[in-house]
Structure 1
Amino acid sequence: MLQEERKQYILNLLNAKSSVTVAELSKAFQLSEVSVRKMLMRMEEQGEIKRTWGGAVSVEGSLQEYSHSEKVPKYLKEKLSIAKAAYECINDGDAIMLDSGTTTLQIARLIKKGPKRKIMVTTNAINIAMELAEAEDIPVVLIGGEVRHRILCCTGNFADEMVRRLFFDKGFVSGNHISLEHGFTTPNIGEANFKRAVMNSSKESFIVLDHSKFGDDSLSLICPIKEIDTVLTDWGAPIQFVEQLRLKGVRVICGNEPVNYWKDTVL
């Protein structure tokens, strides 16, 4: 594969999934990781990518936000592994908050079908509330407010005020990016306020992020690294990044890769 073909391969990958690791490029190109890093360095100098811990991300702006339908097919195996790890953290009798998102939707599906039944779920996600409506023995509180049609959730002052009046044993919060420099971020200012309120109202908060969201920033800060309790991610999270989070006192739980994805998946 020629140099230009490798560059185009990287750009096509980033267009499809927003991040790529040095390890996977090394395997695809049959090059050493040192050679791959040099290639990424040159591409960054030319403004084609942004390098991160263990890989690269696209140069799309901090305002980039995908709709729910666009996010559904991305990283399905990883989201399921995170959801299973999250479910293991939930106990009978817990009052939990599920933020909107495709990974938290997978958590809701495990709750609906799993053996733990004495759980009360609060959510601002319309689709999660509809999913759990099929489980009549799982009480659900739906947070109201301004509907974000593309994201299928409610935000705004009404939603923020309602969350501040509730207290959860565990809150599961989604976002768009996490970086060591700036922390946990999302493109929408209103969503950032809501997610921050959820974390403040939770005795224990869990950030759910697949590995593609590591090493970059979105527009709005949800919280700095020092305020994060636990990060739930998948087996593809950059090892050095995970180690740095743990050194900063953050608990990191990585879900395992499913042995038989299509047999195990909850869609």
Structure 2
Amino acid sequence: MSDEAPTRGARLLTEERRRKILELVEMENRVTVEGLVRRFAVSSVTIRADLDSLAKAGSLIRSHGGAIKCIDPRADYPIAFKEALHHAEKARIGHAAAELIRPGQIIILDSGTTTAEIARRLKHLRLRPITVITNALNSAMELSSTPDLSVVMLGGILRPMSFSLVGPQAEQTLRNLNADQLFLGVDALDPELGLSTPDILEAQLNALMIKVAKEVTVVADSSKLGRRSLSVICKTNAIHRLITDTGADGQIVEALREQGVVVQMV
């Protein structure tokens, strides 16, 4: 009995601390390891173990130096907030996608934090000349000073949350263009529903991007898989390839491959 009591007590202390961590995340939307160490007077190793366990259970999302509240795929979030999520995975995906680009090609870069990683990588690759069509202000600025790389910026209505341009003007410009490859970032990808996003105008523009491109590569970290958002972009049979990370759910990967989608995990 005396041997079991401390173990049971320690388990209760751990569960209570983790419950309080979830309450803090719910109230404040995000927490840091440093702040939790001070609050609970435990080591950073213990707090990281708590956050990892809660993230594995789907109760929160781990971020650099802490954790954030779980994201609702139906809601839109500022790009600065999204950049902090799954950054290492997005960088690997962006690098892998950039390797698909060949000199002389015309490519479309959709808006988003993962496609921004493609733009960053493209700056340092010796793939010239390249023409990049984009509706993303951040990607356009990233590439604006790169020699022998032309940037075609789509006009339209500015979405401050994502630094992207959408709407009839963007669609009209895009209808008169064509591309060898499209790199599309999505908020949600479900094998049955398809690709979806919280913004209706963004979905309409994405659907048109798919029509004018010869090859479509979706770039999305594993947290986007199996999710559904408000506005459907297309069914999965409209895309050729998905580049995601090694944390992707095996059943979802298999379902996509059965539908003819090439899935690359990095």
TM-score under structure 1 normalisation? 0.76
Residue of structure 1 equivalent to 2:197:
186
Give the deviation of 1:131 after TM superposition: 1.0
C-alpha distance in structure 2 between counterparts of 1:186 and 1:12, whole Å: 28
SS at match of 2:169: helix
CA shift in 2, pair 1:60/1:70, >3 Å: closer
When residues 207 and 11 of structure 1 are mapped into structure 2, their CA distance, relative to the original with a 3 A threshold, is farther
Match of 2:234 in 1: 223
In the other structure, the counterpart of 1:122 is 133
Q: CA 1:77–1:12 in structure 2 vs 1: closer, same or farther (change >3 Å)?
A: farther
Q: CA deviation at 1:228?
A: 2.1
Mean CA deviation greater in 221-230 or 186-195? 221-230
1:106 counterpart (105, 117, 121):
117
Change (3 A) 1:146 1:215: same
More displaced 10-residue stretch of structure 1: 104-113 or 235-244: 235-244
In the other structure, the counterpart of 1:197 is 208
Q: Quick one: which amino acid aligns to residue 219 of structure 1?
A: L
Q: Which residue of 2 aligns with 1:161?
A: 172
**Matches of 1:239 and 1:13, distance apart in 2:** 29
From 80, 105, 114, the equivalent of 1:94 is 105
Identity of aligned residues (%): 36
Give the SS at the match of 2:180: strand
Aligned CA distance change for structure 1 residues 218 and 137 (closer, same or farther; 3 Å): same
Shift in Å at residue 233 of structure 1?
0.9
Q: Match of 1:260?
A: none
Which amino acid counterpart does residue 108 of structure 1 have in structure 2?
A: A
- Structure 2 residues without counterparts, runs of 5 or longer: 1-10, 31-48, 61-68
What is the root-mean-square deviation of aligned Cα atoms in Å? 2.9
Task: Give matches, 1:23-34, under 5 Å.
Answer: none
Unaligned 5+ runs, structure 1 = 17-24, 30-35, 50-57, 256-267
| Shift in CA distance, 60/136, structure 1 to aligned 2, threshold 3 Å | closer
Please state whether the residue corresponding to 2:91 is helix, strand or coil: helix
2:91 matched to which residue of 1? 80
Alignment partners' CA distance in 1, 2:109 and 2:245? 18
Structure 2 residue aligned with 1:210: 221
| C-alpha separation in 2, matches of 1:84 and 1:165 | 29
Cα deviation for residue 149 of structure 1 reads: 1.5
Partner of 2:246: 235
Structure 1 residue aligned with 2:145: 134
SS in 2 for 1:226: helix
Q: 1:144 aligns with which of 155, 159, 167?
A: 155
Displacement of 1:12: 7.7
